[in-house]
Amino acid sequence: MAIQAIFFDAGGTLIEPHPSVGEVYGLMASRLGHPADPVEIERAWRDVWSDYQRRAHHELLPLPRSDADDLAMWRRITRCILDAVPSLRHLDFDRWFEAVHGAFKHGGSWRVFPEVMDVLDACQSRGLRCAVVSNWGTYLHGILAELHLADRFDFVLASASEGCLKPELDFFRRALSRAGIAPHEALHVGDSVRDDASGAVAAGLTGVHLDREGRGGTPPGIPVIRDLSGLLGCLDALRPEAPCRS
């Protein structure tokens, strides 16, 4: 199998919130005069995000097919977090949301996972094209630029720019078209089983599940790695009958 290009998801794959979602939300609440426990906010965020992802495609909840949809999605999620944390309930929601959403639109609230730069160097030294294919607002470009990642990729495809998103076949096909390759020549890696690993396979790509927290749930036959360093082993040993695991 001659892989010519690697498509990377963004959040949870290349970058993560810093210092944490709970810390950023809590800081913005404190600035508005409502100190709150960041650990409690983080716990609420994880529950709300998991529930939203589970329900979104079935209940037609807002997803980032445009910047307006992205804004609506995060506004709804942030409202659910406020409702779940008692110490936040008297907060001015509109001001809090504006502050939080504004913070996460910039690189200062994100950090690059430690292994990313070395993995990109290794992929590019092998002559592989690298691209970002992510469900995100158009401001993803600015975040990656601020984190000195943008120039490491041949292109960045954000769902809000395309009007479609993973795991829809059209989104993967647009990425393939930009790369100028056939599905069997591309590998896509990300932290979502549905959107990344299974979505890529359904589109004819090789899908790799990045399971940083060891949650499991990966369908049989799809390679699983614990950090992006494991991707290099997959590139060396990738065979349909022997999925790599690390």
Report pLDDT digits (tens) over 233-246. 999 876 544 445 44
Task: Give mean pLDDT, residues 90-111.
Answer: 97
**How far, in Å, are 49, 207, 208, 219, 237 from residue 234 at the CA level?**
30, 11, 9, 17, 5
Instruction: Kindly state whether residue 245 falls inside one of the protein's structural domains.
Output: no
Other beta carbons within 10 angstroms of residue 95's beta carbon come to 12
> How many CA atoms does the CB half-sphere of 45 hold within 13 Å?
18
Report pLDDT digits (tens) over 179-233. 999 999 999 999 999 999 999 999 999 999 999 999 999 999 999 999 999 999 9
Report pLDDT digits (tens) over 59-79. 889 999 999 999 999 999 999
Q: Which domain holds residue 47?
A: 20-109
Cis bond leading into 167, ω under 30°?
A: yes
Report pLDDT digits (tens) over 26-55. 999 999 999 999 999 999 999 999 999 999
The backbone region for 152, taken as left when phi is positive above 0, alpha when psi lies in -120 to 50, beta otherwise, is: alpha
Say whether both 84 and 95 belong to one domain.
yes
**Listed residues 109, 130, 165: the one ending a domain:** 109
Cis bond leading into 19, ω under 30°?
A: yes
What's the structural domain count of the chain?
2
Other beta carbons within 10 angstroms of residue 147's beta carbon come to 19
Q: Which alpha helices (DSSP H) does 64-189 contain, by range?
A: 67-84, 93-104, 116-125, 140-146, 159-162, 169-179
Q: Is the pLDDT of residue 149 over 80?
A: yes
Average pLDDT taken over every residue of the chain: 94
**Listed residues 58, 86, 109: the one ending a domain:** 109
Instruction: Kindly state whether residue 192 falls inside one of the protein's structural domains.
Output: yes
Say whether both 71 and 97 belong to one domain.
yes
Q: Is the pLDDT of residue 110 over 80?
A: yes
Q: Among residues 182, 184, 213, 188, which one has the least CA distance to residue 200?
A: 188
Say whether both 105 and 176 belong to one domain.
no
CA dist., res. 210 & res. 192, Å (int): 8
Residue 21 in tokens: 């979602």
* CA angle at 69 for the pair 50 and 12, rounded to the nearest 5°: 40
CA dist., res. 183 & res. 172, Å (int): 9
- Using a pLDDT cut of 90, give the percent of the chain over it: 91
Provide the pLDDT for residue 242. 43
Instruction: Indicate which CATH number applies to the domain containing 72.
Output: 1.10.150
Report pLDDT digits (tens) over 155-188. 999 999 999 999 999 999 999 999 999 999 999 9
Q: Among residues 16, 227, 10, which one has the least CA distance to residue 109?
A: 16
Provide the pLDDT for residue 1. 56
Instruction: Kindly state whether residue 85 falls inside one of the protein's structural domains.
Output: yes
* CA angle at 60 for the pair 58 and 64, rounded to the nearest 5°: 115
Provide the pLDDT for residue 57. 76
